[in-house]
Amino acid sequence: MKRLFIFLYLFVLFDPIYGTKTTDKPTLCQGNYHSEAEAVAQLKRLASTHSNLAEWKKRATAVREQFLNGAKLSPLPKRTPLNPIIKNKRHYDGYTVESAAFEARPGFFVYGNLYRPTGHQGKHPGILCPHGHYRGPEGARQRPDQQHRCATLARMGAVVFSYDMIGFGDSQHLGWKHSHPQALTLQTWSSIRAVDFLESLPDVDEKRIGVTGCSGGGTQTFLLTMVDERVLVSVPVVMVSAHFFGGCNCESGMPIHKTPKLETNNAEFAALAVPRPLKLISVGGDWTKNTPKVEYPYIRSIYKYYNAEAKVENTHFANEDHGYEYSKRQAMYPFMAKHLGLNTTGVLDKKTGKFDESRNTIEKTATMRTFNTIAEMPNHALKPGTIVTLH
């Protein structure tokens, strides 16, 4: 009788289908929510919930639904008119840059820069570039490293949209704060609408959409890829970790990882890219230090269900720190070129194997602005800090 009681207790505590220790309410998993050893143990629990493709697909659906519910995006909001504003075209060596904005919801604008190739024929792949949380003097999407990757990808034939998180860049300049209570919700929805924006451009091939970002932009990369199957290729940089859940409320401040029914982590979120091409870029100097031996093997095990192991890669820089520096961009470029059909002629130096960034022009923040003041914006633009109605 005692053994039966213990068995029933453990059965209730641990649900073998969903791989979770049940609790009364959702739990926020923020920052270093658990240890590296606990992350390994959790991945083993998650792996035990599926042993074939059908079981994985069932779990993948449950994970995706939990995220959308927790992020208050279920059901997905109505796709309202984007009303895009594209202006102030600048001409550079092999590409152009325009200031651009669109409405993710009526009156709620997403701001950014649109990079387009010159001298390339036909429709082009579209690539989204979300940025991280850096708040230095050069801003976020205004950072040279972000401008370099956007310009280089454009010179290879991609139409690239680099856009602000809420409370950064133009969003911050116009009065919005990153502490907005809907940050995770609005950023994810803005990324989905950014795919809509790319698809609306007549020079973009809607079947070739990619996304890459670093740090908080890496979080946006794998979250968008998880919920939007239109993303063909994704490269999250220095962010996919089983023990670190993101240090900002925009990444982990809503109940997306752990509920009474299901537990998950960012490694599993990234795995939902399967079977689409996915490249993890990791370093020894942050929470991605274990990627080659922990997160990457777990994700590859999912890709095996589809016989698609060749589509998932990891480049690890054991002696480097957090960021999207030159070396990480050099690891990303060939992956995007391969899977999106980019033209590397004139950009890839075949002798050195490096992609040339020397022809890129780094713009000043003032040049990149979409609106200098709120007075320049449409009259129906929402006031900074407004709670945005989604449903």
In angstroms, the CA 109 to CA 131 distance is: 17
Residue 71 in domain: no
The β-bridge partners of 126 are 159, 209
Which residue shows structure tokens 């001298």?
119
25-50 confidence digits (pLDDT tens)? 889 999 999 999 999 999 999 999 99
Residue 80 in domain: no
pLDDT of residue 1: 36
**Domain CATH for 143:** 3.40.50.1820
- pLDDT above 70 for 303: yes
Residue 351 in domain: no
Name the pLDDT band for 2 (thresholds 50, 70, 90). Answer: very low
49-85 confidence digits (pLDDT tens)? 999 999 999 999 999 999 999 999 999 999 999 999 9
334-345 confidence digits (pLDDT tens)? 999 999 999 999
Does residue 26 have a cis peptide bond before it, meaning omega lies within 30 degrees of 0? Answer: no
pLDDT of residue 121: 85
pLDDT of residue 4: 36
- pLDDT above 70 for 137: no
Name the pLDDT band for 270 (thresholds 50, 70, 90). Answer: very high
Residue 29 in domain: no
274-300 confidence digits (pLDDT tens)? 999 999 999 999 999 999 999 999 999
Q: What are phi and psi of 89, to 5 degrees?
A: -75, 130
Domain count, the chain: 1
In angstroms, the CA 82 to CA 101 distance is: 9
- pLDDT above 50 for 327: yes
Domain that holds residue 299: 85-341
- pLDDT above 90 for 304: yes
Q: Which of 9-23, 40-54, 209-223, 362-376 has the lowest mean pLDDT?
A: 9-23
CA 328 centroid distance within chain: 16
Residue 295 in domain: yes
- pLDDT above 50 for 100: yes
Residue 75 in domain: no
199-218 confidence digits (pLDDT tens)? 999 999 999 999 999 999 99
Q: Is 20 exposed, middle or buried (0-12, 13-18, 19+ CB in 10 A)?
A: buried
Residue 58 in domain: no
Which 3 state secondary structure label does DSSP give 377? coil
- pLDDT above 60 for 11: no
Residue 78 in domain: no
Name the pLDDT band for 222 (thresholds 50, 70, 90). Answer: very high
Q: Give me the chain's average pLDDT, please.
A: 93
Written as six digits, the tokens of 355 are: 């992609």
In angstroms, the CA 244 to CA 253 distance is: 13
Taking residues 5-17, report their average pLDDT: 36
